[in-house]
Chains A and B, each alone.
Chain A
Amino acid sequence: MRYLISYKRLIWLLVFACFFWLMLRITIRYIPAQSDVSFLQIKQTEVTGVKGYLLVFYIHVYSAIFTLLAGFTQFNRHILAKYPKLHRSLGYLYTGTVLVLAAPSGMFIGWFANGGLTAKISFVLLGLLWFWFTLKSILLILKGDVKGHQRFMYRSFALATSAITLRLWKVILVYLFHPAPMDVYQIIAWLGWIPNLLIAEWIIKNKTTQ
């Protein structure tokens, strides 16, 4: 058992599972699909005025949750070593979901984001980088470059978890400062993913197998 998983990893996994559960609950709010539920309550201008917004929005909501699943298995060295096939098929699920569904839809709805140009730029950039890191990583492993693949998947997944960290930052900032909703939104648009990326770079530098 000791070989399978360390306590430290187990705690991380449990924390991640909690946040995954929270994200799942947010997703479930959108089932069945309606045009004026939850976040869409304040997005009726886009829902009624932008062709395809509603469809793309729901593509993002329903697909993005699956990308977080990668956090449970894909960075576990034990699974990687013992069940490479599982790693591969789950990897393809992640990559396919990001490249075809979650990242392009994210960029589209990001362009219509609340919080003005600052927030829009952040979300579109986030989508672009997410797409690029994921694509790059998969191209590297197809060439057999394991280290390169690892590096870019850390980056890619760091951006995937921005869904969690963005909402976490919001709770913290609102608790501390009671800012107006769009003021906080402009901040978390950037705070949601840049620190994540920095942490990924730190992990790449210090923790990956040399």
Chain B
Amino acid sequence: MKNILLCSLICLSLFACKDTKKKNNTEKNTAVAQAEIHQELYGSWVGDFLDVGSEEYEGDYDYIKKLNIIIKKITKDTVIAQSIVSGNNRPLFGKMSDDGSKITFVLDEPGTHKYDGRFEIELVGDTLKGKWNAYKSELKWPEKEYKLIKRQFVYNPNLMLPTEASYVDWNDHKFVEKLDTLEDGKVDTAAMDFYRSASDQIFKLNASAHLLKEQDLKNLRKLDLQILKNTIFARHGYAFKKDTYRQFFDPVEWYIPISSNVDDQLTSIENKNIKLIDRFTKYAEDNYDTFGR
């Protein structure tokens, strides 16, 4: 008995030795790669991306864009991050400076895209405030401003589009004028169609949480179907490339654009529903306003 105890003690001590060795190794590695600092700032910072000088919503104002800056790594010399806005998913590279009282960032997009530019950010309390200036100053809105709050993206299949007035109002007075130009039967092109055409079924049917039946979709128009399908993608944080969908989802409180491809994240319920919705969408495209069936 004593022997066994002794043996096990020796074994344990041996393992303990190994563990300490490992720890030493990893510490050495990070030291070489530079110490990461301010890790509490890592993650998504989300807020509205506003045109400077267009506070009044008129003219070519269309909708408030949502900006997500994902801070991935901060060291003394470099900051690695990512910006997602308007479906553009751009890597950011820059510096942080901390003079003891103020933390500021200067982060640059690569410059290979038309809308690339520089973010200059300051941490004020729990908010990142700052400006963005396009490299190409001839852009219509070369300067933007934003206030970003740190938010963690969490997939939740039960999230639904808000039915509240603000959401509808936002569409309402902006696109009323376009009503007339669209009487040619095209239903899916402009945002005002959301207000005009989307039925209240889009607030009732959840294509992430429940397996849909054909009966659920029979009376839906193409726009309803597209919204149902894209609400799935919005729940997964898909960064919409199409303006139509950004207009629907950017103003939604829970929506955080986080990825340009969420196909791997879709659940089996969602995949089945997408197939069903696609069939109905194709049928609507082929038949809704034509002589056929």
Which residues of A pack against B, CB within 8 Å? 22, 25-26, 29, 36, 38-39, 41-45, 114, 167-168, 170-171, 174-175, 178, 180-183
Contact = CB atoms under 8 A, between A and B. Distances in A.
B30 interface: no
B36 interface: no
A175 B199 contact: no
B53 interface: no
Contacts of A26: 291-293
Task: List the 3 closest A-B pairs by CB distance, nearest first.
Answer: A182-B219, A41-B279, A41-B283
Nearest to A182: B219
A180 B219 contact: yes
Q: Is the interface of A mostly helix, strand, loop or mixed?
A: helix
B288 A44 contact: no
Interface residues of B, number: 26
A39 B293 contact: yes
B201 to A, nearest CB: 9
Nearest to B290: A171
Contacts of B282: 41
Nearest to A45: B214
B18 interface: no
A155 B161 CA distance: 51
B218 A171 contact: no
A106 B197 CA distance: 33
Contact of B289 (A41, A171, A182): A171
Contacts, number: 65
A29 B290 CA distance: 14
Contacts of B286: 38
Given A41-B280, A42-B283, A181 B290 contact: no
Contacts of B289: 171, 174-175
Contacts of A38: 283, 286-287, 292-293
A42 B214 contact: yes
A202 to B, nearest CB: 25
Interface in B69-87: none
Q: Which of B213, B219, B286 is packed against the most chain A CB atoms within 10 Å?
A: B219
A167 B291 contact: yes
Contact of A42 (B221, B279, B291): B279
29 contacts: A22-B291, A26-B291, A26-B293, A29-B292, A39-B287, A39-B293, A41-B282, A42-B214, A42-B280, A44-B214, A44-B279, A45-B215, A114-B218, A167-B292, A167-B293, A168-B291, A170-B291, A171-B289, A171-B290, A174-B185, A174-B288, A174-B289, A175-B289, A178-B187, A180-B221, A181-B218, A181-B221, A181-B284, A182-B219
Nearest to A173: B289
Q: Which of B280, B282, B293 is packed against the most chain A CB atoms within 10 Å?
A: B293
B23 to A, nearest CB: 59
B15 to A, nearest CB: 59
Nearest to B214: A45
Contacts of A114: 218
A8 B6 CA distance: 114
B228 interface: no
B20 to A, nearest CB: 63
A208 B219 CA distance: 43
Nearest to A179: B221
Nearest to B292: A26
Interface in B182-228: 185, 187, 196-197, 199, 213-215, 217-221
